[in-house]
Amino acid sequence: MTIRNVLTRIRLIAHREMHMFSRRPMFLFSMLIVPVTSIFLFTTVMGDGLPVNLPAGLVDEDNTVISRSLVRTLDAMAETDLVARYPSFHEARQAMQRGEICAIYHIPKGTTSKALSQRQPSISFYTNETYFLPSAMLMKEMYLSSELISISVNRSTMTARGNTLGRAMAATQPIVLETHPLGNPWINYAILLCNVILPGVLILCILISTSYTIGMEWKMETHLDLYRMGNHNPAVILMGKLLPQTLLYMLIFLFMDVYLYKILYYPCHCAFINMVLIGWLTVFAAQGMAIFVFAVFPGMMRFSMSVCSLIGVVSMSISGYSFPTLAMDRYLQYVVNIFPLRHYYLIYVNQALNGYSIVYVWANVAALTIFMLLPVLVLRRYNKIFTDYSYRP
Amino acid sequence: MIQKFLRIISIAGHELYEIMHDHGVLTFILFLPLAYPLVYGAIYHTEVMTDVPTAVVDDSKSSIARDFAHRLDATQGARVVQLCTDMNQAEELMRQMKVYAIVHIPESFERDIKRERQTRIGLYINMASSLYYKGVALATNMTVLDMNKDISINYLGAGTKQQNKVARQPISYYYTPLYNTQSGFAAFIMPPVLMLILQQTLLLGIGMSMGRARETYRRKMHTLYQLYQRPVEIIIGKSIPYFALYLIMAVYMFTFITWFFGLPSLGNYLTYLVVIVPYLLACIFMGVVLSCLVYRREDCIMIFVSLSVPMLFVSGVIWPASHEPAFWRYVSYCLPSTFGMHAYVRIQSMGAGFADVYPEFRALWIQTAVYFFIAYLLYRWRLSLIKKKLITLFEGDYENERLLI
């Protein structure tokens, strides 16, 4: 076959594929509507970045000047919103069970009088840990305000004893901690999650639609036509068949990068083109994986689609952007390497988030390249699949 | 009445037969709900991120700084893996992902403390995951507070042990994480995901069985014409096998999975069963409605799988529902999973009673009614189409007969 011949065949097969898309609106749904809607969904749902004014309840049994100043300090903090006061802890807990508040701050009776007479009273706070994110925010602020009240008592004692304010500060807070969350100083959850979940959704869509469109040929029993169209050359066939999808997904990845880094201004400490190229490499890697899976389960369209779905869905949990892989079981730290999203995530952290040299993640780039090249291993097998296998439900 | 009942039973029997003879559907409704929670649990069962690898850059080379590093190492959140001589070395470790946080102790650290001046420690955290931040920031903050109090004693201490204790912390405080007492990740994410698994596998199963019916009987949605004439009977008959099976699955999630992974289990069995009935019904009827989109068996995977993660996100389990845009909140109200997840978390993890989950319970029944009605309309429409076709066929026959006469 001459190069010209090959290109013509690829063009014809791609054309045939586009014709298939046009007859089935479902392709439009899962290749365009789901990815693009997801991009808008995740970025707008977490549009605040960090939830502010989370509902908390207060049980103030003390009701003195000091307890009220403590309450004011707490209420003035960014993330805590004391929405309700309850006469007893029991009622506050019931409100929590109804889902009205995420945390309870409890100042028992006698707190002030004990504090004034140096009898060390204790206050307590509770968060509803079944909702992880709000409770983490509230816990942080409740710790802080509880600590501040002690510091302010000690500082008053110091100044009352005739010390300067500077000395009093040094006495009550000798060491000050300056925290620098690198690359995401606002601790913006949209940046933490969207940068990885969105490629995850895209990879899932790519895996499923690739195995669907390949399997469809066997299901409709058109695989032999296709085989003849591609001149019995699986490489040409697969290239032609996946070309429209590839271009579409490359476009969607480009759109995602433009939207995240150029419109929403998520931190991108590397060259913009790097993220685009990594996205495209991920598209090829996911497609390579799906082609490989279908070769392992030839003709079994449903089964290979299920395997691809499993890879796509599990990768969202196992990749380590929400729950670090470091904390998982030992064997999972090896298993995780078969998921393309894991490699994308590590490259993203290295590149866009931290702006380090790509040399540090060469292994992950190599892994994605290997996924991309997986079809080469099974090209010969595809010859056999085209001729010998038929659709199995 | 008895006729009706018998027809429903035979439709249910026919559905069951179809399900049992389709491996694809069986995988989705039998294998997946049984196995997927185990996979999910295997990933998250370690619950907490402890000992985040941390580097300490000690420029002061003092005993107080060493004490600080030791105390930090002893916390749950951080583990000091390397004492670095300068920032460059620590940054290199960070780039290689050998450490996820750097604590920088300045050269003037000890001198400042001795001279009664405030001193500053720098903490640099890799924001790859929020749990690195949470672990290290909390550990370092606690260590700093602890050291601060020890140093303060020198100024404030009045002598006796008790006085020192009070001076360290004039007002003490206690923090209690409720319901998920170790702030575990599995205990947070698994309960809602269990409910989502029920819904998604139902959608997949019903979708696939509809795809099979469509493929076998072409454009009709049902088979035996004699039996399948009344939409209400068809929908109820179709739902019975799924409902019966999923009641068992729901109990499996509530009991076995919860026990196996040690998830919070304060739930009252009866409350759970009362709420799970409308949840399953709403899911099944939604499945019947959405399955009209499925023309081939494999279509259902294409449609439903990629929606799982967005469904989890709009529900408000991860990101508080009160802080998401109103549009998405209303979208989430259309999904049974939103209410199912919240109700399950409250019942099972928080020990809520029936009164506490009444809003969710009511919403689920409303969804059940709405989805049933939509399914009814869809089926009636389809049936009328088929009837029209048959009538034209028969009329043709009449004409032929007349011609014969």
Token pair listed for B401: 């007969």
pLDDT band at B213 (very low <50, low <70, confident <90, very high): confident
Residue A49: predicted pLDDT: 79
Where residue B87 sits, what CATH number does that domain have? 3.40.1710.10
pLDDT band at B136 (very low <50, low <70, confident <90, very high): very high
Query: In this complex, which of B117, B121, B319 lies closest to A170 when CB atoms are compared?
Result: B117
d(CA B135, CA B123): 12
Residue A255: predicted pLDDT: 95
In 3D space, the residue among A8, A392, A18 whose CA is nearest the CA of residue A233 turns out to be: A8
The residue out of B103, B136, B168 marking a domain boundary is B168
Find the mean pLDDT for residues B210-237.
72
Q: Is the pLDDT of residue B374 over 90?
A: yes
In a domain, B49, yes or no: no
Q: Is the pLDDT of residue A334 over 70?
A: yes
d(CA B223, CA A53): 56
d(CA B136, CA A85): 33
B226 with B124, same domain: the answer is no
pLDDT band at A198 (very low <50, low <70, confident <90, very high): very high
Residues A2-9: contacts with CB under 8 Å, at least 24 apart: A5/A231, A6/A233, A6/A236, A9/A229, A9/A230, A9/A231, A9/A236, A9/A240
In a domain, B175, yes or no: no
Shortest distance between the Cα of B188 and any Cα of chain A, in A, equals 5
Q: What is the mean pLDDT of chain B?
A: 86
d(CA B342, CA A104): 20
The reply to whether residue A187 touches residue B130, judged by beta carbons under 8 angstroms, is: yes
- The better pLDDT of the pair A81, B375 is held by B375
The reply to whether residue A321 touches residue B129, judged by beta carbons under 8 angstroms, is: yes
pLDDT band at B218 (very low <50, low <70, confident <90, very high): low
Q: Indicate the number of domains in chain B.
A: 2
In a domain, B179, yes or no: no
Residue A97: predicted pLDDT: 85
In a domain, B404, yes or no: no
Token pair listed for B299: 């279509």
What stretch(es) of chain A map to CATH 3.40.1710.10? 54-172
Which residue in the block uniquely carries the two structure tokens 């079809």? A375
Burial B229-248 (b: 16+ CB within 10 A, else e): ebbebbbbbbbbbbbebbee
Please give the model's pTM, rounded to 2 decimal places: 0.91
pLDDT band at B366 (very low <50, low <70, confident <90, very high): very high
Shortest distance between the Cα of B371 and any Cα of chain A, in A, equals 22
B213 with B293, same domain: the answer is yes
A146 in contact with B, Cβ within 8 Å: yes
Q: Which of A45, A91, A93, A198 to mutate to test the interface with B (most CBs of B within 10 A)?
A: A45
B247 with B290, same domain: the answer is yes
Shortest distance between the Cα of B172 and any Cα of chain A, in A, equals 4
Could you tell me which residues come within 8 angstroms of residue A12 by beta carbon, excluding any fewer than 6 positions away? A229, A240
What CATH class does A54-172 carry?
alpha beta
B49 in contact with A, Cβ within 8 Å: yes
pLDDT tens figures, A287-330: 999 999 999 988 888 889 999 999 999 999 999 898 899 888 88
Find the mean pLDDT for residues A238-244.
91
**326-355 in chain A: CB under 8 A from chain B:** 326-329, 332, 345-346, 349-350, 353-354
pLDDT tens figures, B195-204: 999 999 999 9
Q: Is the pLDDT of residue B223 over 70?
A: no
Enter the DSSP assignment of A351.
I
Shortest distance between the Cα of B372 and any Cα of chain A, in A, equals 24
Residue B294: predicted pLDDT: 83
- The answer to whether A195 and A353 have CB atoms below 8 angstroms apart is yes
Find the mean pLDDT for residues B264-269.
88
B307 in contact with A, Cβ within 8 Å: yes
B161 in contact with A, Cβ within 8 Å: no
d(CA A26, CA B293): 9
B313 with B360, same domain: the answer is yes
What phi, psi does B177 have (nearest 5°)?
-75, 125
Question: What are residue B365's DSSP bridge partners?
Answer: none
Burial B167-181 (b: 16+ CB within 10 A, else e): bbbbbebeeebbbbe
Least confident stretch, A46-60, B46-60, B67-81, B282-296: A46-60
pLDDT band at B393 (very low <50, low <70, confident <90, very high): low
B146 with B220, same domain: the answer is no
The residue out of B168, B199, B225 marking a domain boundary is B168
Residue A113: predicted pLDDT: 84
Residue A118: predicted pLDDT: 80
A169 in contact with B, Cβ within 8 Å: yes
Q: What is the mean pLDDT of chain A?
A: 89
In a domain, B164, yes or no: yes
Residue B257: predicted pLDDT: 92
d(CA A109, CA A20): 74
Q: Which of B22, B319, B356 to mutate to test the interface with A (most CBs of A within 10 A)?
A: B319
The reply to whether residue A175 touches residue B144, judged by beta carbons under 8 angstroms, is: yes
Q: Which of B302, B329, B330, B360 to mutate to test the interface with A (most CBs of A within 10 A)?
A: B302
In a domain, B178, yes or no: no
Percent share of chain B, pLDDT over 90: 42
Token pair listed for A252: 């969607």
B26 with B90, same domain: the answer is no
B308 in contact with A, Cβ within 8 Å: yes
Find the mean pLDDT for residues A76-82.
82
B233 with B361, same domain: the answer is yes
Question: What are residue A123's DSSP bridge partners?
Answer: B173
Could you tell me which residues come within 8 angstroms of residue B256 by beta carbon, excluding any fewer than 6 positions away? none
Least confident stretch, A60-64, A152-156, B392-396: B392-396
* Interface predicted TM-score (ipTM): 0.90
pLDDT tens figures, B321-341: 888 888 999 999 999 999 999
B109 with B211, same domain: the answer is no
Which residues span the domain enclosing B105? 54-168
Residue B225: predicted pLDDT: 58
Q: Is the pLDDT of residue B346 over 70?
A: yes
B29 in contact with A, Cβ within 8 Å: no
The reply to whether residue A179 touches residue B309, judged by beta carbons under 8 angstroms, is: no
A149 in contact with B, Cβ within 8 Å: yes
Q: Is the pLDDT of residue B129 over 70?
A: yes
Q: Is the pLDDT of residue A197 over 90?
A: yes
Q: Is the pLDDT of residue B49 over 80?
A: yes
A216: nearest CA in chain B? B298
Q: How many CB atoms lie within 10 A of CB B329?
A: 17
Find the mean pLDDT for residues A197-207.
94
In a domain, B176, yes or no: no
In 3D space, the residue among B39, B208, B242 whose CA is nearest the CA of residue A303 turns out to be: B208
Roughly how many angstroms between the first and final C-alpha of chain B, as a whole number?
A: 41
Q: Is the pLDDT of residue B242 over 50?
A: yes
**209-268 in chain A: CB under 8 A from chain B:** 209, 212, 215-216, 219
pLDDT band at B381 (very low <50, low <70, confident <90, very high): confident
Query: In this complex, which of A41, A128, A154 lies closest to B310 when CB atoms are compared?
Result: A41
Inter-axis angle of helices A234-257 and A3-23, nearest 10: 60
Residues of B with CB below 8 A from A94's CB? 356
Q: How many CB atoms lie within 10 A of CB B249?
A: 23
Q: Is the pLDDT of residue B282 over 70?
A: yes
B152 with B300, same domain: the answer is no
Q: Is the pLDDT of residue B219 over 60?
A: no
The kind and range of the H/E element at B366 are: helix B358-404
d(CA A260, CA A281): 18
- The better pLDDT of the pair B43, B152 is held by B43
Shortest distance between the Cα of B237 and any Cα of chain A, in A, equals 25
B139 with B228, same domain: the answer is no
In a domain, B84, yes or no: yes
Residue B289: predicted pLDDT: 92
Residues of B with CB below 8 A from A157's CB? 156, 167, 170
